[in-house]
């Protein structure tokens, strides 16, 4: 099918508590656990690994707004 990417089957071990959190969040978002994990790994591959390399930090919009307002 057009637009579909080839996938691979990967088995990983994670702490039970982490699995419970991921399952709960996936259900709340209406996603499968697989889809949520894929989105987490996509974010890592597209942003987090570069942010770490360059020493960048992620902050919320509210945090950024507070910092800017504090400068004025």
Q: Which residues contact 53 (CB under 8 A, 6 or more apart)?
A: none
> Cβ neighbours of residue 46 under 8 Å, at least 6 residues apart?
none
Task: Report yes or no on 21 lying in a domain.
Answer: yes
For residue 6, tell me if it sits in a domain: no
Q: Is residue 41 part of a domain?
A: yes
Query: Which pTM value belongs to this model?
Result: 0.72
Which tokens belong to 63? 């945090």
52 located within any domain:
yes
Q: What's the total number of domains in the chain?
A: 1
Tell me, yes or no, whether 44 lies in a domain: yes
Residue 11 belongs to a domain = no
**Structural domain range at position 64:** 16-71
Alpha carbons within 13 A on the beta-carbon side of 32: 3
Check residues 52 and 33 and name the one with the higher pLDDT: 33
Q: Look at residue 2 and tell me if it is in a domain.
A: no
| Tens-digit pLDDT profile for residues 27-49 | 999 999 999 999 999 999 998 88
């Amino acid at each position: 099918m057009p637009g579909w990417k080839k996938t691979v089957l990967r088995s990983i071990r994670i702490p039970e508590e982490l699995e419970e959190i991921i399952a709960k969040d996936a259900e709340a978002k209406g996603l499968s656990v697989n889809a949520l994990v894929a989105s987490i790994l996509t974010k890592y591959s597209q942003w987090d690994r570069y942010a770490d390399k360059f020493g960048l930090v992620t902050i919320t919009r509210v945090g950024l707004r507070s910092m800017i307002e504090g400068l004025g």
